[in-house]
């Protein structure tokens, strides 16, 4: 498996993985798949070029993707980013998410990111375990933060402060 920077050519595979969660899961609170123009806008929405998107590529194609996002447009938050990690259903449990998250953690200091935030829906033990194994700590639970598929959902906030040893 190779983890590399995503390209526009990866967008169909990225959104095939993502749309499964949009339509059937709770890992994203998006409820409608993005159209092609919105996908391109999403790909290029990268203030200052600071928020990389990476993919895990294997023989069967793109097994997963991960991204850093701007946490807030307020300037004092410039060194804080949010992350997202999504793995294709048939590639789960094989370390794809671990490798993707490790690459984001490696790239973050190069992009002047000091702190990474993760929002993980309660009831997603795999993502919680992935992030905690990578040094994230739970900093709070947002109760009744969203509603999807008829479920009222709580969301964990996790944080990883990069201290220069990463």
pLDDT in tens, 36-79: 999 999 999 887 778 999 999 998 899 999 999 999 999 999 99
Residue 156 pLDDT grade (very low, low, confident, very high; cuts 50, 70, 90): very high
Largest Cα–Cα separation, the chain: 43
pLDDT of residue 165: 55
> How far is Cα 144 from Cα 7, in angstroms, rounded to an integer?
36
**Within-domain flag for 164:** no
Among residues 102, 98, 67, the alpha carbon closest in space to that of 83 is found at: 67
In whole numbers, what is the pLDDT of the chain averaged over residues?
95
Residue 166 lies in a domain: no
DSSP state of 64: E
pTM score: 0.93
- Residue 122: inside a domain: no
As a whole-number percent, the residues of the chain with pLDDT over 90 amount to 93
Whether 162 maps to a domain, the answer reads no
Q: Does any domain span residue 56?
A: yes
Helix axes 125-133 and 96-107, enclosed angle (nearest 10) = 50
Q: Is 8 exposed, middle or buried (0-12, 13-18, 19+ CB in 10 A)?
A: exposed
Provide the token pair at 108.
């973050």
Is residue 144 scored above 90 in pLDDT? Answer: yes
Per-residue model confidence as pLDDT tens digits over 73-88 = 999 999 999 999 999 9
Rounded CA separation 154/75 (Å): 28
Domain count of the chain? 1
* 157 within domain boundaries: no
Q: Domain span at residue 19?
A: 2-114
Domain containing residue 99: CATH number: 3.40.630.30
Say which DSSP state 149 is in: T
Residue 157, pLDDT > 80, answer yes
Does residue 139 fall inside a structural domain? no
With cut-offs at 50, 70 and 90, classify the pLDDT of residue 164.
Answer: low
Residue at 133 is within a domain: no
Determine the pLDDT at residue 48: 72
């Amino acid at each position: 498996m190779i983890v590399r920077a995503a390209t526009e050519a990866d967008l169909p595979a990225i959104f095939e993985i993502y749309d499964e969660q949009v339509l059937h899961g709770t890992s994203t609170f998006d409820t409608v798949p993005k159209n092609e123009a919105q996908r391109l806008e999403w790909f290029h929405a990268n203030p200052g070029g600071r928020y990389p998107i990476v993919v895990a590529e294997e023989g069967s194609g793109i097994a997963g993707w991960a991204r850093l996002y701007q946490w807030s447009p307020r300037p004092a938050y410039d060194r804080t980013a949010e992350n997202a990690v999504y793995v294709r259903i048939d590639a789960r449990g094989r370390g794809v998410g671990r490798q993707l998250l490790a690459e984001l953690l490696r790239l973050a200091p190069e992009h002047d990111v000091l702190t990474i935030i993760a929002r993980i829906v309660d009831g997603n033990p795999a993502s919680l375990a992935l992030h905690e194994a990578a040094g994230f700590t739970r900093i709070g639970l947002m109760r009744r933060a969203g509603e999807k598929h008829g479920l009222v959902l709580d969301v964990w906030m996790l944080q990883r402060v990069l201290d220069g040893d990463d």
